Structure formats: C-alpha cells, structure tokens
C-alpha cells in the first residue's frame, strides 16, 4: 500500500469553528435591514416573504425545542 502526500502548494479551505460561524450568522441576521411594506409590488412581496419566512422559522424552531424537551422528559 502506498501513501501519497498532497502537494505542499495546495491550499486547503480553512473551516472556522462552529461557534465562530454561529457568531457570524448572528451578526449577519442582527444587522441585516428589515424590509418595509412600501414601494413597488416587488418590495411588498419581499416583505410578505420575510414575514412568512420568519413565522415558519420561529414555528419550526419552537417545535424542535419542544421535541427536545419532550424527549429529555421522557428519558427521565
């Protein structure tokens, strides 16, 4: 069996730790401008999508947390 070393000039992508990536995501969401229900029809549609997406994300997040709590309580 032969082992081949990758060339030393190869640049491998550096993956940031999960904690750092989550902090970057939180900063992106925190400082992203929220759309307003004004302007053209496209801008209003974007606002409606933003609201519906937020509702869906919060609902799914809540269900995931409740499922985790239920599973933890069931294992006691």
Q: What tens digit of pLDDT does each residue of 10-63 get? A: 566 788 899 999 999 899 888 888 778 888 999 899 899 989 999 999 999 999
Place of tokens 């004004």: 38
Please write down the HEC assignment for all residues of 29-57.
HHHCCCCCCCCCHHHHHHHHHHHHHHHHH
Look up the pTM and report it: 0.55
Parse the chain into domains and list their residue ranges: 40-76
Residues in the chain: 76
d(CA 48, CA 36): 9
Q: What tens digit of pLDDT does each residue of 19-34 get? A: 999 999 899 888 888 7
d(CA 69, CA 66): 5
């Amino acid at each position: 069996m032969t082992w081949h070393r990758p060339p030393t000039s190869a640049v491998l992508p550096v993956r940031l730790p999960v904690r750092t990536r989550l902090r970057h995501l939180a900063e992106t969401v925190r400082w992203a401008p929220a759309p307003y229900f004004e302007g053209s029809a496209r801008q209003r549609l974007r606002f409606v999508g933003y609201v519906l997406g937020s509702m869906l994300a919060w609902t799914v997040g809540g269900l995931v947390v409740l499922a985790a709590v239920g599973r933890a309580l069931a294992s006691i």
